Chain A
């Protein structure tokens, strides 16, 4: 194929890819075409072609940027929120857990304000009070700030919304978050009469209810790579049952080499506010954050296999 035919073919395909929304593929073709022209000194209207292709690449870059910077979790219409609430119920057993799952689904899809409204209704339901309260705290943290989460807890303390045992579980949960964020604040405990209860009892009932403790961070002894033999600690940003999300800073990028999807790490220490336990974890997903303040970080989901 001579240079002109090859050039025509590259440009034609680039246009076709663009029409299909395959922006990266279109850009690759334009770049290849541009290189081809630059190397062909005898081509007439050479500079004009180079300029024209440069404009097309610029326009593609803008379109690619727009795709990459799309808001990940925008506020949706109430109609779509209703679909999410109704259709993404995960393990609902009864009417209350069904409502709780619906609200959690809204939060998972980033509809925090509506989720918050629903969770605030659900704390009135005895069987799901604690789960609803923990989710209210999580929503406050995403929507506004940790301070708001603390204020919310304070309101629950002042208004005696929960029995002392339950309030204590929520306190442990929030205190753990505060400690993890290096906030030097000790939350008020539940009523005096609850203080006498043995800590063991609290721990036991917490274990029964949640099965998996709230994990604040994990430690992994690296068995390969530049940090071989070292203990690497990573903070947990979010937890859903036995799946935890970890944020890996850009400067720790070399760790990613050891974390492939599906990899099972057999020697993991899980740190919670009340205990450290060892176990194994499977890498469920690994995504580079492309936009926002955490751009360049990696979000890693790990499933706690056994502990």
Chain B
């Protein structure tokens, strides 16, 4: 849930990267941490298992500077994607103002993408949020792997599987190379800030 301090003219919001295990959520944050040094306002905190899986979350604070006279800060989080960390995933999702759903383009991960999106919908529902009402952006990650011989799904197929009903902005991406990472984040932040503007009347009161 965004914290809006009218007196200090500060707004702090939370964007959560969601998706199946090994889809590249942490890699997205690692790229942002490296490529957007100017905006990064603190250390990236990661809690991983020995096998390099996200155990609790990754956390990265960034600042967008002044927007409509307000100092805008964004906290980026990733959830653990592995099935067994269901309760932690739900905990990290709480209070999210915007979501990036990272889908894995590999053909073998088709079902995992759909299950993860369903899991997102259920967890949001538990918090009383309708998935169509929250700022959501989709990222079709790992597009670069086609060159290495991996069988990938076409963008059309992924859109049909995941975005046919939601119709949210979506971006092909490669978190490893950085392609599409900035565009995804930018789109999610725009949607989130517009939503907060509408919800909080932010921009009119300050």
Q: A residues within 8 Å of B by Cβ?
A: 12-13, 16-17, 20-22, 25, 63, 66-68, 70-72, 74, 76, 79-80, 83-84, 87-88, 90, 108-109, 261-262, 282, 284-285, 287, 290, 299, 301, 303
B129 within 8 A of A: no
B87 touching A285, Cβ below 8 Å: yes
Looking at B51-59, B130-138, B163-171, B186-194, the stretch in contact with chain A turns out to be B51-59
Looking at B30-38, B42-50, B198-206, the stretch in contact with chain A turns out to be B42-50
Mostly, the A contact residues are: mixed
Take A66-B51, A303-B126 as given contacts and tell me if A287 and B84 are in contact as well, using a CB distance cutoff of 8 Å.
Answer: yes
Chain B residues with Cβ below 8 Å from A287 are 83-84, 86-87
| From B75, B82, B108, contact of A67 by CB (8 A) | B82
A70 touching B87, Cβ below 8 Å: no
Chain A residues with Cβ below 8 Å from B55 are 70, 72, 74
B59 touching A87, Cβ below 8 Å: yes
Looking at B63-71, B145-153, B154-162, B177-185, the stretch in contact with chain A turns out to be B145-153
| From A25, A80, A90, contact of B95 by CB (8 A) | A90
Take A80-B45, A83-B45, A301-B87 as given contacts and tell me if A66 and B106 are in contact as well, using a CB distance cutoff of 8 Å.
Answer: no
B195 within 8 A of A: no
| From B56, B75, B122, contact of A261 by CB (8 A) | B122
Q: B residues within 8 Å of A by Cβ?
A: 22, 45, 47, 49-53, 55-56, 59, 75, 82-88, 90-92, 94-95, 106, 108-109, 122, 125-126, 145, 148-151
Residue of A nearest to B42 (CB): A83
| From A13, A63, A76, A90, contact of B47 by CB (8 A) | A76
A20 touching B22, Cβ below 8 Å: yes
A87 touching B75, Cβ below 8 Å: yes
Take A108-B91, A287-B84 as given contacts and tell me if A21 and B109 are in contact as well, using a CB distance cutoff of 8 Å.
Answer: no
Residue of B nearest to A28 (CB): B108
A70 touching B75, Cβ below 8 Å: no
Can you pick out 20 interface pairs between chain A and chain B where the beta carbons lie within 8 Å of each other?
A13-B150, A16-B149, A20-B22, A22-B106, A22-B109, A25-B109, A66-B51, A72-B55, A72-B85, A74-B55, A80-B45, A80-B56, A83-B59, A88-B91, A261-B122, A282-B126, A285-B90, A285-B122, A287-B86, A287-B87
Take A25-B108, A80-B45 as given contacts and tell me if A63 and B91 are in contact as well, using a CB distance cutoff of 8 Å.
Answer: no
A67 touching B53, Cβ below 8 Å: yes
A109 touching B122, Cβ below 8 Å: no
A63 touching B51, Cβ below 8 Å: yes
Residue of B nearest to A261 (CB): B122
B58 → A minimal CB distance (Å): 11
B150 touching A70, Cβ below 8 Å: no
Contacts A66-B51, A70-B55, A88-B92 known; list 10 others, CB within 8 Å. Answer: A13-B151, A21-B53, A67-B51, A67-B53, A83-B45, A87-B75, A90-B94, A90-B95, A285-B86, A287-B84
